[in-house]
Amino acid sequence: CSSASNIPKIRKNINNLAKNFGKKIKLGSYISYSFPLKNEIKSLCKIKSCGCGFRSNYIFETARIVDEKWLKKLKKLSYEKAKKELMKLPGVGEKIADCVLLFSLGFREAFPVDVWIKRVMEELYFNGRKTSEKKIREFAMKKFGNNAGYAQQFLYHYRRNK
- Cβ-Cβ contacts under 8 Å for 89 (sequence gap 6 or more): 58, 61, 62, 65, 66
Annotated catalytic residue, options 19, 26, 69, 95: 95
Cα–Cα distance measured from residue 94 to residue 133, given in angstroms and rounded to the nearest whole number: 9
Whether 95 is a known active-site residue: answer: yes
Cα–Cα distance measured from residue 52 to residue 50, given in angstroms and rounded to the nearest whole number: 6
CB crowding 106-128: b at 16 or more within 10 Å, else e? ebbbbbbbbebbbebbeeeeeee
Catalytic positions are 95
